[in-house]
Structure 1
């Protein structure tokens, strides 16, 4: 509004100077100063608000311009109408601009009818052409500036949208990475701690009656702890690495390490029957997912199936689909014996089962967990193989 205020003041002062100059002309018929000055001020005052309230300002200018032109008080009426047409087109829109142009034409016709000095056809034609040229010029300028403003607004909106999408993509990437790290930590820690707890319990019972068995259990605890520490160091190396690709520095376990996993579980006290078909060249992510699903399933068997439970693992590939079936003959065989009000710890909803389901879904696979129809507990997963991943 500061620039519009300066412009309005300059227009008003110019008209007042013209009025003062015409006052020395004895022939000119001028209205008294107490009429001319207020009309001039009223003529330019609405221009201060032409950006903030374009329609209100424009119509006030239109009404006062009829009086201003009739009294022939200067150029503020013509300049005010031109600025008002431009402002309505830019700040209000084309539809409001067309309505206002129609009102300007009607107001100009009224002013010409009241002006006794314009009574010839040539003068009327010149006035009409001047009015048409002025309206066209102001409209064209308003269209250009309005299109530029609309373009700037659209660019700002798109930049805001891009920033929002970038922030959202960053949040999603961070959430996915946190979920991946959480799954890895859970699988490593839960498996290792479960094996160590079972072996420690066995060693405490056998340390006096069977020292050799206790020694083997302690050795298993030591090996499991070292393996868990190694995997934890690998995860920490990934987190601390400044490499752009973020690749781990040591190989991750995959489906080919299932035999070693089964041996560790047998050492921990759970007989495991392992059947692995021809898997071919699996993508690294799918292979890791198969390993982690089997690892979590066997860990749950170790923790919840009870003494004397056995487990079977079958991994087969049929075309572009890898099927994993892990079952045991433990507590899942009689789910109705779970006390009322308590949920079986292996029912879906635990962190480990959530992690398995996420691993399956991230590759477009499925996971079914629950009591087997023939008794026992089973985990069935199907992962599609996409070599482009």
Structure 2
């Protein structure tokens, strides 16, 4: 069964480390905002409402602008400091309020709170603009008309909405990517699950049909051989050969079924498995790829198709590794069958650089070769030799029934 895991919540930048570029930009923004606010205090102008001592206005201006350097790390606390400094000052004494020193820093803090925090926390910022501009006329009688209050609110609230919409759009895009990723994982898992079930079903059916029938044939043959007279030597030898072949077929059938259940390396249907007779063609294809292959295969080899396939795969993987790691090198392939089946593939190593031992890494080639050889009770040796590399596989002789 495929388990559906919930998608992780969208991670805003406040929960992740900011880049140096982001830190530099926010610091630059805070410095520029502070400089603009102080400049508007000291340069005579009519853009704002002026009152209170200069030192107090400078301090309040810095409290509105300097915290903007951390607007993405602590967006809501920064907004509280920006608005809180203005609200507390308005309750106590008159002070100056300007566009660059008051409205613009508040708009930046409002946008940042909606953009870089979750919805519930950002809603805490919404009442702050109303409180700030509603309390400012307590000590500043020249400020207090509806137009004076609505004008900054018409700037601050749209910035909050813009930040919230951008936040939601980015979160939806993140959730969509996460959903697509999980969907792809579930699709792959489902495909593997269906394939495994089908292989298991085929293996079970093949076992029921073939293994049972061959087992019955072997048992009946053995029973018939035991009932023959001692003089029927030829018939006894024929039945003995049939019985031995049947037992060998049962073993091969079980190995094949284990591949159907567990493996992914299935031969294409309708094509015979390659064997020793196909090694010259394999060597020729590797020669065309750049290897110099010296192939030695005895003319007559008594081996079952399963072991021939294992030898073929060992040679194929060893030649591929030589081409991959040693380049255009010379490779010697030698197959012997006396007293038992063995194969050795050795190369002379790379021409221009020492790459010895690198083929003992974490690839699946050597693991696959070892599994094939071990399946038949054999042993595999793969190690550097001189400047080159050698792969040697030995298979025990086939057990005969006597």
- TM-score under structure 2 normalisation? 0.47
TM (norm. structure 1) is 0.48
